[in-house]
Structure 1
Amino acid sequence: MSRLLSAYRLGELTLKNRVVMPPMCMYKADIDACVNDFHLAHYAARAIGGVGLIIVEATAVEPRGRISMHDLGLWDDAHISGHAALVKQCHAYGAKAAVQLAHAGRKSTCAVSIPVAPSALVFSPNAPFQRPHALSLDEIAEIKARFVQAALRAEKAGYDMVELHAAHGYLLFEFLSPLSNTRSDAYGGSFEKRCTMVCEIAQAILQATRLELIVRLSAEEWVQGGWTIRDSEALAQKLASIGVSMIHVSAGGNHEIQPLMPNLAPLYQAAYAKEIRTKASIPTIAVGLITRAEEGEMLLEEGFCDLVAYGRELLRNPNFLFYAAKAQGETSLIEPSYLRAF
């Protein structure tokens, strides 16, 4: 029996298989940041294709938190209906749906606002990046509240879970890294203090909603003196104790130049997921140029992860899972209307 195609229990939810569509920005929203026809078709196609868990792209918790002017948002009640329609389509074809709640921090390229960050350190001296404003304690409290409000809207829209984006050099990871966080107050300095922002938001979301919570982390910063896998393991232990269900393990993204970045190759980030899963005793999602069903089977069999994210492969092939099912002789998993093609 294929492990990749087998069901998986996460809290109160049962995923029909272990294939994940990870969040990938489409940059298709209008300036209002609402779900539109593209998003409905895009995500529905992967749900029809049999994906077990669809995590909707980075969705901003406030306007200045967008990566670009074409990101989705959940900072206003006006956004709920579009997300509800998207979730309804995913559910109609048996997929569970999560949304990645995000704040771009100093990596925002929105020209209409000044980016914010834990410290006034620019991501890049080159356009379109601007020097960020260092957040005050009052502003930090406001952003924490915005994450919780966005999670409550996600719950109203019918999402099964939310993912907190604390990776790739966006705001929450900026707080984690000693290279982008030079504060000397309750949110900076020691490892414990740099983790405070992420932990407080995670705990507040879990207290305010009934949703399962995933946290996406960059396991390594790939810059000397930066965030490390040992830091990620320690933070994952903290998050597990709070009640976070799973860690979605990625890496890098906090610097324009990353001297310690490994060569890009299939499965190049999967070992991070295994280390966190083992050391922190928390389920993980593995990512990193995973393109073949056989790779996913191996990762699951050898204890690297609990779920496998196929990003670019699902962009190329919304029906990836049907090919995997055909190879395993499990044609009952193929959408009947498409079965003649397999």
Structure 2
Amino acid sequence: MNQPKSPLGMLFEPLRIGAMTIPGRIVKTATTETMSTVDGFVTEELVAFYEPYAEAGTPLIVTGNFYTQRSGKVYHRMPGADDDDKIAGMRRLTEMAHRHGAKICAQLSHAGRQVFQPAANDDPVSASAVSDKFSGIRPRAMSLEEIRAFVLGFAQAAERCQRAGFDAVQIHAAQGYLLSQFLTPYTNRRSDDYGGSFDKRLRILVDILKATRERVGNGFPILLKLNGDDALPLRKGLHTPALVDVARVLEDQSLDGIEISVGHYESGFPTIRGNFDLFFDTLLDQGVGREYPPGKQRSMRLSKGILAALSNRLWPHRQGFNLCYAEQFKRALKIPVISVGGFSDPQAMAQAIQAGQCDAVSIARAMIADPYLVRHVHQQQPVTECRFCSACLARIGTRAVDCFHPDVAPQRAIMMAREKGLGHARAA
């Protein structure tokens, strides 16, 4: 007699993304690692960070963003794909992943005006000279010559990733980074061929996809990270129908898959819904807030209690908080749709896929709390529970990524030691 199929079984059904097939529907989404050298080279620390994800059988690992040009650096210890001298280090990362049978995708990005640490980039650029109200940084508008150089640099970076052994690349056009800044009318006030109408604001992304495809060929998967909504109230941000139209155009231009996120830095915290009780203290004492101007630091310290209470009210955590957007892309596209956004519960992941809201889910914070999450779900073992305190995100750019929750971090350490011990036993 046939046994009833586990509702979680669909999480381990294969998914085809272009020419690549991944053995499941749980993706490790990009997270800022703060583990490269200051010159952008991959370190052994970075390779070691990703090894548990590969050991755990994670179907697809998407790295934290690699900058394609030095002008696109977000923070000091960010890895780069801007020169051939980076290929050897990137290859150490891909060889490790492949040794464990994992697929690995390099996320490529340019910060534009969204620079965590001004010292990392003293000449921020954007589509237009529109200040970021979150950081206070005012970029300068890119020239046409700079745009052309950026398009070429992006395609060259993707080719380096291919040469280094990555299984795919992901173009980061979400969360208010440079390509998102070109798409969004609020941040793109140009009147030339790269601004104004929908087609002109989209042009840089079409140019990048075409140039990249020419370099990597038809058999190499190219994914996109895109907002489901810009979440910019009272400003000319993009909403889901227009962003779905962006995806339709790029699907026709050979895009292989899309991951849906939300927001800009200036939006507040719709991208990282959770609990913010400790976030602002941590940001100011241990994060990039230490580099804020003295006046901004003082005002944030005086208002941190109000900021935390307001953030908790506006952006509470919930499972799959971008599914309301992702399902609209799923209805409109033929390529796979991946949804990021607060997933930690396997039942919620399976339900999202079963309901047709997305083809796969991607996870950041819950996988920081439990890098072996995929193995634990597959074996129906307890998952080390993320509390979505975002203490990991408050330290971006200053500390290597880790779980810092006072209750979860010790549990994680015990779990990691156990898994490593089991790994050594298997190897023996």
Q: Same fold (TM over 0.5)?
A: yes
Check whether the contact 1:237–1:281 (CA below 8 A) recurs between aligned residues.
no
| In structure 2, distance between residues paired with 1:59 and 1:277 | 27
How far the C-alpha of 1:11 sits from its partner, in A, is 2.1
- Report if aligned partners of 1:114, 1:130 keep a CA contact under 8 Å in 2: no
**306 and 340 in structure 1: CA distance in 2 versus 1, 3 angstrom threshold:** farther
Please show how residues 75-154 of structure 1 align to structure 2 within 5 Å: 75-108=82-115, 109-111=117-119, 112-124=121-133, 126=135, 129-154=136-161
Q: 1:262 to 1:272 in 2, by over 3 A?
A: farther
Please show how residues 270-289 of structure 1 align to structure 2 within 5 Å. 270-289=323-342
Deviations for 1:17-57, whole angstroms, at most 9, x for unmatched residues? Answer: 12110010011222111110111001111000110100110
Post-superposition Cα deviations, 1:67-118, rounded to whole Å, max 9, x if no partner, equal: 1111110001111111111001111111111000000001123425210001
Task: Tell me by how many angstroms 1:305 deviates.
Answer: 1.2
Q: Does 1:231 align with 2:242?
A: yes
Is this contact kept in 2: 1:314–1:320, CA < 8 A? yes
Total equivalences in the alignment: 334
Deviates more, 1:37-46 or 1:255-264: 255-264
Q: If the length of structure 2 is used for normalisation, what is the TM-score? A: 0.74
Supply the RMSD in Å over aligned alpha carbons: 2.3
SS for the counterpart of 1:99 is strand
Moved more, 268-277 or 103-112: 103-112
Structure 1: which amino acid aligns with 2:33? Answer: M
Give the helix-richer structure, 1 or 2. 2
Tell me if structure 2 keeps the 8 A contact 1:287–1:308: yes
Q: Which has the larger share of strand?
A: 1
Query: Is 1:216 matched up with 2:225?
Result: yes
Give, in whole Å, the separation in 1 of the partners of 2:263 and 2:336.
Answer: 21
Structure label with greater radius of gyration = 2
Counterpart code for 1:23 = A
Residues in 2 aligned to 1:217 and 1:116: alpha-carbon distance in whole angstroms = 20
Aligned to 2:262: 251
Paired residue secondary structure (2:97): helix
Equivalents in 1 of 2:184, 2:91: separation in Å? 35
Q: Which residue of 2 aligns with 1:266?
A: 319
Task: State how far apart, in whole Å, the 2-side matches of 1:271 and 1:131 are.
Answer: 33
Distance in 1 of aligned mates of 2:184 and 2:221: 26
Amino acid across the alignment from 1:281: K
Q: What are structure 1's unaligned runs of at least 5 residues? A: 329-333
Provide the rounded CA distance (Å) in 2 between the counterparts of 1:280 and 1:7: 19
> Which of the numbers 40, 62, 65 marks the counterpart of 1:33?
40
Equivalent residues of 2:319, 2:345 under 8 A apart: no
Gapped runs of 5+ residues in structure 2?
272-313, 382-418
Equivalent positions of 1:300-339 (< 5 A) are 300-327=353-380, 337-338=422-423
Provide, for residues 219-258 of structure 1, a one-character-per-residue CA deviation record: whole Å limited to 9, x for no partner: 1111233111011110010011011011110000252547
Give the Cα–Cα distance (whole angstroms) in 1 for the partners of residues 63 and 268 of structure 2.
Answer: 28
Task: Give the drift of 1:313.
Answer: 1.2
Partner residue in 1 for 2:274: none
- SS of structure 1 residue aligned to 2:65: strand
- Contact persistence 2:262–2:270 (CA under 8 A): no
The separation in 2 between residues aligned to 1:115 and 1:171, in whole angstroms, is: 10
**AA matched with 1:38:** E
- 1:3 and 2:10 aligned: yes
Q: What is the distance in 2 between the residues matched to 1:7 and 1:181?
A: 39
Distance in 2 of aligned mates of 1:8 and 1:65: 32
TM-score normalised by structure 1 residue count: 0.92
Cα offset for 1:280?
A: 3.0
* Percent identity of paired positions between Structure 1 and Structure 2: 29
Q: Is the 8 A contact 1:236 1:282 kept in 2?
A: no
